[in-house]
Homo-oligomer: A and B are copies of this chain.
């Protein structure tokens, strides 16, 4: 039956009846150019490497490529030496990564020469916020690829096929770990039937060099263990975790470890028992240590106190620096609030000098238009990774503070919250695939430019096979009329979103709950104020912005000098973060001479214009793209365009109530009325409740 399906699929593909739906992502390498691939060693992973090279080879006809496992102190785990004639690595996985790199260079026109290529982070992880019932928290690409419900744990052939495709895709960009379930973790994840399904996933991922991890609920010993406490210092609790970890490793010998969200947004944690985050993390770390397992402990904590939310994670975790075991990694979101279109980096990076810290990025675009808006996140992550913390002098970028090159640490790691679901194209938006791709590439090489990533992705994902117009001369027109304009659109896309959503350092002014549309006004009576936009924008008749200087919340003091002084000085603080750190009058004069109010208007307007330009860019590519993906992206850009306009109109009309100033007359006027926007928002809030 399975064979029949595959045969049928092959038939459909070869006859062109099988419509393009984006399912093949950037893995379209196929070739009939003969190549000889040899390797003295045999393993499932090496077999994959050999097959990938044979099936995709675009180099010299009849060339021989030698794969070789060697000893080499210059090679880190997963690293490899590339040459025209072969790949050398200290591990089987290294050979596989080398094979993918070789093919990528062939397909994107990059040179293959003698080169030593090491990954910057040891652990390059996806976090899936997938619930056991099959839903995905902040998932915009369909239901979970791992879970279909606690009553549907049986593994099907469809599951296995998908998990293998998933593993291959990750391996192709160097991702080597994945957390299978939501950080808001069900205790049931540690029950035996669920663990057995996790084992099945792990078995599919293993040949591709990917380790499996689980997010666990701190109260598990109580909820599923029947204990009366989950106190991390309680011997019975420790014993329970030791036993549970042993059970897991019996099933999954290379199990990676736990991800924990504790004492955050209602999740249980050690503080419930008067213990610290360190007590809790270390207890788990001890259980995992004999198996080389790790604990990733999230620093995303804040409570409804009067303290600036942006300061709370730092305040809570800094005193614990030095108290964590060496197999504990503190996982810190890139910014101090929550995955906004633009944030400064979290001040914890580089500040915790005796603790391993890993960045958590969000690939799924909870706050960036979800699966509707075209936003390439490579530029955002590049900006973040290259941010200067000054923690160990000049050059202490976030990347270097976390990759082990500055601080002595057993592990280095980076995580991305996945944007993957059961949608045909995996990610909802065809261009959202580029963010999965970019995360993998940047996790491997944090100094790679987002421009290179975009170009690679475009060339691998589209191409002559997808041309709608078969008369195109690929060599001549492809780069000029497709790759370049589409790349430029991608590179501009995140800044466009910042412009039409929340420019100049504005943040978290979303409509309630869904984090999609604008809701700068949203503040129902009785609501926690740090969950309402007015808390973040602080607009009043005098001005706008969150004062985080010494005169305000003093969150700036959490940054290292000279950065703190720079951010405090309104004349030096980057304008892109101005309202993140300062409350400024409406007539504050920007560097270009405009008033703050006028500049806000210009930025919102620019965002709308940018999206309209993206529509034009995309429409001009019609000849180069298969009809299905062309139409899908066109449709989403249309929605994005209207969304951008709604953002602009909502924010300008709302803030205008405070500024009492006209929108500069040369700009396009609002096309929505405030009444209409408020009505629509109420409908959305109702729908989301």
Contact = CB atoms under 8 A, between A and B. Distances in A.
Contacts of A470: none
Interface stretch (A301-309, A535-543, A664-672): A664-672
B673 A638 contact: yes
A66 interface: no
Interface in A610-650: 612, 615-616, 619-620, 622, 635, 637-639, 641-642, 645
Nearest to A669: B615
Interface majority SS (helix, strand, loop, mixed), chain A: helix
Tally of this chain's copies: 2
A669 B618 CA distance: 10
Interface in A651-685: 662-663, 665-666, 668-673
Interface residues on A, range: 20 to 34
Contact of A616 (B641, B669, B671): B669
A641 B668 CA distance: 10
Interface of A: 612, 615-616, 619-620, 622, 635, 637-639, 641-642, 645, 662-663, 665-666, 668-673
Contacts of A668: 612, 615-616
Contact of A662 (B622, B665, B673): B622
Nearest to A653: B638
Contact of A619 (B622, B663, B671): B663
A620 B671 contact: no
Most buried by B among A620, A638, A670: A638
Nearest to A618: B669
B639 A673 contact: yes
A619 B673 contact: no
Contacts of A665: 616, 619-620
Nearest to A667: B616
B673 A641 contact: no
B635 A669 contact: no
A639 B671 CA distance: 7
Contacts of A635: 673
A688 to B, nearest CB: 19
Nearest to A617: B665
Contact of A645 (B615, B663, B670, B671): B671
A672 B635 CA distance: 9
A627 to B, nearest CB: 12
Closest 3 CB pairs of A and B: A615-B669, A642-B671, A641-B671
A673 B669 CA distance: 22
27 contacts: A612-B668, A612-B669, A615-B668, A615-B669, A616-B665, A616-B666, A616-B668, A616-B669, A619-B662, A619-B663, A619-B665, A619-B669, A620-B665, A622-B662, A635-B673, A637-B669, A638-B669, A638-B670, A638-B671, A638-B672, A638-B673, A639-B673, A641-B669, A641-B671, A642-B671, A642-B672, A645-B671
